[in-house]
Structure 1
C-alpha cells in the first residue's frame, strides 16, 4: 500500500473516531472497507484538490454488499407529508446535470441500489438534456432549482417567480417529467415565495444535513462532516451537489458508512397527478419530433 493511499484510508477512518462525533454503532467500518479494497488493487481517482481517492464505486459496492441500504418510498403532496423516521435520510443533489460528474454519481447510486432527488438548474438541464433524462430513466426523482441559480431574495417578487417558473419549465422539457420538488438557491427564501411555491404544486426541500461539499476540502473531510451532522440530527435531508468531483469521490464511502450504521435511504415521490403545463410541453415536443 502506498503512503498516499494509506493517508486517504486514514482520513476516511476518521468517520469511526472522534472526527465524526461518535463511532458507528452497527455494521462494519470504512477502515475495514479500505483494507479489503486495497488488497484487490483499487483504482485511483482524483478529487478537486488533486488528491488520490481509493476504490471505484463498483468496488465499494461489491465489497460492502450494499443491499439493505434502500428504505421506503415516501409519497408527499406538501411539506407536511415529509416526515422522516429515526435513521432515515433523503439524498439530494443540486445544481446539475454536468457531464461525467452526474453520471459518476448515478453509477454509485446504482451500485448501492438507492435513489436520490436531483434539483436541477434549468439552464444546466437545457444544456445537457440527455443526462437530465438519464437521471429519470435510472428511477431517481427530479426537482428544479431555478433557471440560473439566482438568489431569489435579491429579486423583486415577480422576477423571482419568473425565475422559478422558467427553471421548472426547462427541467420539465429536458426530463419529460413533472418537477414538483423545489429548492431555493443558497437556501435563500422568503415567506412570500414559500407560499407561492406551495400554492403552485411544488414542495420545498429544506436541508437538515449540509455536506458543504462546495468547500475546497478533501472527499474524506466532506464525508466526515456529513456523518457528524447526521449523528447530531439522527435523520434528515442531505444536501450535496453533482457538480463537484469531490462529491462523486466521497459518495461510496458515505453510503458505506450509512449502511454500516443502520441508516435507510428514503425515496421521495410526489403524490399529485401530471400537471397541464407538462402535458402541453410534451405534446409540443412530440409534434416537433414528428415534423
Structure 2
C-alpha cells in the first residue's frame, strides 16, 4: 500500500456515524477552529521520516504534523488534549513506556480522542551509552507496555533524544516499525514564554514551509502555550495533517479545514 491521504473505506452505516460525529465536532469547535485538513495513512513498514535525520513525509507545502513526546503525564497531558480538542486537531503522541503503564487510563484516553500513539523508549535512555542487550531489553519492555495498555504493537517509534543506534534501527525494521524523527521544534523543554515559543514556531515554519513539529506533552509550559501555538499555525495559513497507519481505525470527529 502506498502512503497517501486516504481513509480506508467504511460501510454505509459507519460512514453515517462518522459524518454525524464530524459535524458535531465541527459545531463544537466553531468555524474559526484550526481543524484537521486531512489524514495521511502510512503503511506498516520499516520506513524512516523527518528531515532532521531522514526522508521528508509526503506532505504538501504549508502542511504540518503535530507530535508530542514524553507523556503521558497527568498534570499536563489532559491540558494538551483540551487544547487540541478545542481546535479539532489530531496529533501523534510518542509515549514513554513507564508513564504509559503508570497512567494507563490517560494513555487510553489519548487514543480514544482520535490521536495516534507511537512510542519513545521505556525509560527515555541515552542508547549510545547502553549495550545492545540493554537497548533490546528497553525495547522489549516498551513493547510489552504498549500491548498491555493499548493492545497490539506500536506503529511508530521516536528515539529518545533522537539518538538512533544501528542496532535498534535493525530491531525496529524487523517488526516493520516506522522511525519518526522531526523537521522542527521550539525547544519547549527550555524556560521561555508562550510568545517566545510562538515566535520560534513562526520563524521555523516559514523556513521549512511546514513539516513534523516536535512538542512535549509532559511539559507544563507546553500545555499552557499550546492554545497560542495552534492559533499561530492557523494565523499563518498552515494546515494540520493527522498521521495514522494502515492497520489503525480511522480517527473520528475531524473538523476539516480543507485539503
On whether the aligned pair clears a TM of 0.5, the verdict is yes
The answer for unaligned runs of 5 or more in structure 2 is: 1-28, 50-56, 250-259
- What CA deviation, in whole Å up to 9, does each residue of 1:39-67 have, x standing for no partner? xxxxxxxxxxxxxxxxxxxxxx66x8115
Are 2:177 and 1:211 aligned? no
Q: Is the 8 A contact 1:180 1:203 kept in 2?
A: yes
In the alignment, what sits opposite 1:196?
Answer: 171
Per the TM alignment, residue 178 of structure 1 is displaced from its structure 2 partner at its CA by 3.7
Pair 1:268-2:235 in alignment: no
CA contact (8 A) 1:75 1:268 kept: yes
In the alignment, does 2:186 pair up with 1:233? no
The structure 2 residue matched to 1:66, chosen from 24, 27, 33, is 33
Structure having greater relative contact order (Cα 8 Å, sep ≥ 6): 2
2:226 corresponding residue in structure 1? 251
- Alpha-carbon shift at residue 158 of structure 1 (Å): 2.5
For the pair shown, which has the larger CA radius of gyration, 1 or 2?
A: 1
Aligned to 2:114: 139
**Residue of 103, 114, 123 corresponding to 2:78:** 103
C-alpha RMSD of matched pairs (Å): 2.0
CA distance in 1, matches of 2:152, 2:107: 10
**Runs of 4+ in structure 1 over 4 Å off:** none
2:218, 2:239 → 1: CA distance?
24
Paired residues, number: 212
Task: Report the Cα distance in structure 2 between the residues aligned to 1:225 and 1:168, rounded to whole angstroms.
Answer: 35
- How many angstroms does 1:267 deviate by? 0.9
User: Greater CA deviation, 167-176 or 90-99?
Assistant: 167-176
- Normalised by the size of structure 1, how large is the TM-score? 0.68
Inter-partner Cα distance in structure 2 for 1:267 and 1:239: 14
Match runs of 1:158-177 below 5 Å:
158-176=133-151
CA, structure 1 residues 153+235, in 2 after alignment: closer, same or farther (shift >3 Å)? same
Cα distance between partner residues in 1 of 2:246 and 2:136: 23
Matched position secondary structure for 1:186: helix
Please report the TM-score for the alignment, with normalisation by the length of structure 2. 0.76
Structure 1 gaps of 5+ residues are 1-60, 275-291
How far is the alpha carbon of 1:172 from its aligned partner? 3.0
